[in-house]
Amino acid sequence: MHDRPMSRKEAGLWILFGVLWLGAIGAGGARLWTYKTTPGAPAPLQRGWPAASRIPRDRARPALPTLIMMAHPNCPCTRASVGELANLMQRLRGRVAARVVFVVPRGAARSWTESDTWRAVQSMPGVTSWIDEGGLEAARFGARTSGQVLLFAANGRLLFSGGITPIRGHLGDSAGQERIVSLVTTGRADAATSRVFGCALGPV
Amino acid sequence: MTPMDLGEDLAVREAKVTARAGELFAEQRQRVFVRVDRMFLGLMGGQWIFGILVAFFFSPYAWEGKESTVHPHVWTAVLLGGALSLFPMLLAWKRPGWIVTRHVIAVSQMLWSALLIHLSGGRIETHFHVFGSLAFLAFYLEWRVLVTATAVVVADHLARGLFWPESVYGITNPESWRFLEHAFWVVFEDVFLAIACVNGVRDMRRSARRQAELEGLRESDELKTFALEMALAEARA
């Protein structure tokens, strides 16, 4: 059962297949990597909580900073953002109030809105959800990408704007999450923004 | 028969046994390579189907507002997954037991780990695929295959650490210990699997030697019996 000998022609064919295989893997891998690392459009930096917003601040705990996450209920990438929000809330236990704003088209069916991401948020301690029909709140906050996080100080000043996943739709520690933790716990961070990854929120 | 003749006879017999043991060992080793290649032929096909199911289950559509399109992960699972699986499957089918086959399988298997991790959105549980794959590759009883597989993991970490450190370490300025922590667990498994491979090969060699000795003894017994029968036949005549 020894390895059978190979003709030159057969060896050449295997080398050709090998080169094609490596090329296909390289091209496919590069395409996947480009997709995963291309950030979505960031929210333009604004000074503070939009005056026209109807999203209530946490009146019971007015001294807490408020974290807003804009989410597309069906975007699979946002599952990772919501997963990382759960981690973040665990790390910041009781030191921040969080709202996840689900951006949905007007008259969207309940099944469209109440996705597994929506259900995950309902069971998350310290986090409340808000349905934004027609994307009015998303427009007020300038959010264009699902997973966009905005952190506001108790006085309404914007502290941070960005995403909390390392790449698109991927769980894991990220610069955005570290910056939010640092801002909430020490009041300082090396930067006030990070790249945001997710589906486009609009047009709805 | 003089003592010198007896010594020569023993030396010849020993050389024969050693040569036969070498043959039996090579045959047995080749059988293992072929059997494990065939196992991976099935596994590669299974992983391809599983990857497509994962993509369909976790991320069927990409969204832009209320518009949806087939998610790039689905195409990636079908096309990149196909590319990852088909070449090793072809090798395992047409050239089982060839050294290139098992090393291509090792590369492909570790790339499958990376692809499944991406398709599942980085779930920590999917990272277990790396360790399971190393264990499967150890079925070859060939530590060099583990080196190839580990080199793929290291190359992936180094490349991503260089171009997108956040995707490996989570933070933009990684401390070196984070990389060492990842490397430690892979090397930890590698060391014990490599020891198991070396021991497995040693056992295989011993077993081949024992079989060769038994064959030698049987041959020698048959010769003795034959000589005795000849002598008896002559005496009767």
**Which tokens belong to A35?**
């997709």
Per the document, the length of chain A is 204
For residues A118 and A125, is the Cβ–Cβ distance under 8 A? no
Q: Test A172 with B170 for CB contact under 8 angstroms.
A: yes
Q: Does residue A12 sit at the B interface (CB-CB below 8 Å)?
A: no
Mutation for A interface: B54, B74, B87, B94, most A CBs within 10 A? B87
Nearest C-alpha neighbor of A189 from the set A201, A199, A181:
A181
CA of A51 vs chain B CAs: smallest distance (Å): 25
Nearest C-alpha neighbor of A164 from the set A94, A105, A62, A96:
A96
Q: What is the Cα–Cα distance from A80 to B134, expressed in whole angstroms?
A: 27
Q: What is the Cα–Cα distance from A141 to A161, expressed in whole angstroms?
A: 10
A 130-169 residues inside an 8 A Cβ radius of B: 135, 146, 166-167, 169
Q: Do β-strands B61-64 and A158-162 pair in parallel, antiparallel, or remain unpaired?
A: unpaired
Q: What is the Cα–Cα distance from A194 to A200, expressed in whole angstroms?
A: 17
Q: Do β-strands A97-104 and A66-71 pair in parallel, antiparallel, or remain unpaired?
A: parallel
Chain B CA closest to residue A40? B64
Top CATH class, A66-186: alpha beta
pLDDT per residue of chain A (204 residues) written in tens, 0 to 9: 446 788 999 999 999 999 999 999 999 999 999 999 999 999 998 889 999 999 988 777 778 999 999 999 999 999 999 999 999 999 999 999 999 999 999 999 999 999 999 999 999 999 999 999 999 999 999 999 999 999 999 999 999 999 999 999 999 889 999 999 999 999 999 999 999 999 999 887
Sort out which chain A residues have CB atoms less than 8 A from B87's CB and list them: 17-18, 21
Q: What is the Cα–Cα distance from B138 to B154, expressed in whole angstroms?
A: 18
Does position B3 have pLDDT exceeding 70, yes or no? no
DSSP string, A25-37: HHHHHHHHHHHHH
ipTM for the predicted complex comes to: 0.91
Q: What is the Cα–Cα distance from B53 to B59, expressed in whole angstroms?
A: 10
**Which tokens belong to A72?**
């597309």
Q: Test B66 with A203 for CB contact under 8 angstroms.
A: yes
Nearest C-alpha neighbor of A40 from the set A167, A135, A191:
A167
**Tokens 């953002």 found at:** A81
Q: Do β-strands A97-104 and A127-133 pair in parallel, antiparallel, or remain unpaired?
A: parallel
Sort out which chain B residues have CB atoms less than 8 A from A200's CB and list them: 63-65
Supply the pLDDT for residue B220.
82
For residues A81 and A164, is the Cβ–Cβ distance under 8 A? yes
CA of B3 vs chain A CAs: smallest distance (Å): 40
User: A93 exposed, middle or buried (CB, 10 Å; 0-12, 13-18, 19+)?
Assistant: exposed
Q: Kind and range of the H or E element at A79?
A: helix A76-91
User: B42 exposed, middle or buried (CB, 10 Å; 0-12, 13-18, 19+)?
Assistant: exposed
Supply the pLDDT for residue B44.
98
Give pLDDT tens digits for B57-105.
Answer: 999 999 999 999 999 999 999 999 999 999 999 999 999 999 999 999 9
Q: Which of A32, A74, A166 sits opposite B170 (nearest CB)?
A: A166
Q: Which of A3, A36, A74 sits opposite B97 (nearest CB)?
A: A3
Q: Do β-strands B61-64 and B67-70 pair in parallel, antiparallel, or remain unpaired?
A: antiparallel
For residues B139 and B102, is the Cβ–Cβ distance under 8 A? no
CA of B33 vs chain A CAs: smallest distance (Å): 10
Q: Do β-strands A149-152 and A158-162 pair in parallel, antiparallel, or remain unpaired?
A: antiparallel
At B216, which amino acid appears?
Answer: G
**Count of Cβ atoms closer than 10 Å to residue B124 Cβ:** 10
Q: What is the Cα–Cα distance from A149 to A127, expressed in whole angstroms?
A: 13
Please tell me whether the peptide bond between A62 and the residue prior to it is cis, using omega within 30 degrees of 0: no
Does position B7 have pLDDT exceeding 80, yes or no? no
Give pLDDT tens digits for B123-166.
Answer: 889 999 999 999 999 999 999 999 999 999 989 888 887 787 77
